[in-house]
Amino acid sequence: MCAVIGYLIGSFLPLELFKPSFPDDATLNKGEYYRLITSIVSAIITFLAICVALFKDDLRELWKCPKIDFLSLDTVEELNESSDITPTAKKYISRVEIHNTGNLPAKNTELFLNKLIFTAQNSNINKHIDSYSEALIWDEKTELKSIIIPPGGKKIINIVEIFAPENLSTPDSNTEPPILKIGTIKCAKEEAKGKWLATFTLYSENHNPVNLDVEIEWSGEWRSRFTEFKDKYQIVKK
C-alpha cells in the first residue's frame, strides 16, 4: 500500500517544484537547507504526536456516537381477557420501532408529543391542540419514561391508542364512545372523526433531537376485531 501511495505521489505530484536552486552567492547551502526541512518536518510530527496523545479520547469520540432511526410503524389489537368463544378487542395500539444503529448507547432517551393538529371530516380548518410536556411511557408494567437504547438495540413504544366503547351503569344504558389517545392526549368527543398530524420528538442525552411526523385518519367508528377496524383507521409516517 505504501509503495502504491508513493508511486501515485511521484507520478502526479510535481515534486520538481519543491527542489531548491542555490545561486553561488547563497548564504544557505544545500546541506543546511535539507537539515532545516528535516527539522521542520520533525517538529510537525512531534506536535501532531503530542496532540494525538492529549486528545486521542476526544478524537475517538468523533467516530463513536449513537444513531437513532425510526423504523416500522404498525397497529395491533389487545384482546379482552374473557372466556368468550369469540374474542373482542379491548383497544388498538399503533406503535413505532426505534433502532440505535450507532456504536454507543443512547442515554436517557425520551419521546414527547410536540405538536398535534386536527382537521375534522369534510373540513379544511386546522385546529392546533395543546400537547402536554410529558414523556411517553416505554413500558406500561414499569412505567419507564426514560431508557437507554444500546448499540444495535431496538425498542418499541406506543404512540396512539384507541379504547373500546364503555357501557355506563345508567338507567338508559348509554354507551361512551371509543376514546382516541395520541401520545399523552385524550382527544375530545368532537374530535373523533377526522385527520390528525402529530409530531413526536425523541430526545437523548448524547444524541440530537429526532422528529417523527405521522398522519392519523379515523372515521370515529369502532369494530370488535382489527380485520374489520383497519378499514376505518390508518396511520402513516410523513
10 located within any domain: no
229 located within any domain: yes
229 SS3 class: helix
141 located within any domain: yes
The mean pLDDT value for 148-167 works out to: 93
Range of the domain at 217: 68-237
The mean pLDDT value for 140-154 works out to: 91
DSSP states of 1-33 as a string? -HHHHHHHHHHHS-GGGG-----TT-SS-HHHH
- The pLDDT-based confidence of 160 (bands split at 50, 70, 90) is very high
Separation of alpha carbons 192 and 221, rounded Å = 9
pTM exceeds 0.75: no
Q: Of the candidates 113, 103, 78, which has an alpha carbon nearest to the alpha carbon of residue 198?
A: 113
Q: What CATH number has the domain bearing residue 191?
A: 2.60.40.10
Determine the pLDDT at residue 116.
94
Q: Of the candidates 36, 146, 157, which has an alpha carbon nearest to the alpha carbon of residue 98?
A: 157
Look at the chain and report how many structural domains it folds into: 1
Percent of the chain with pLDDT over 90: 51
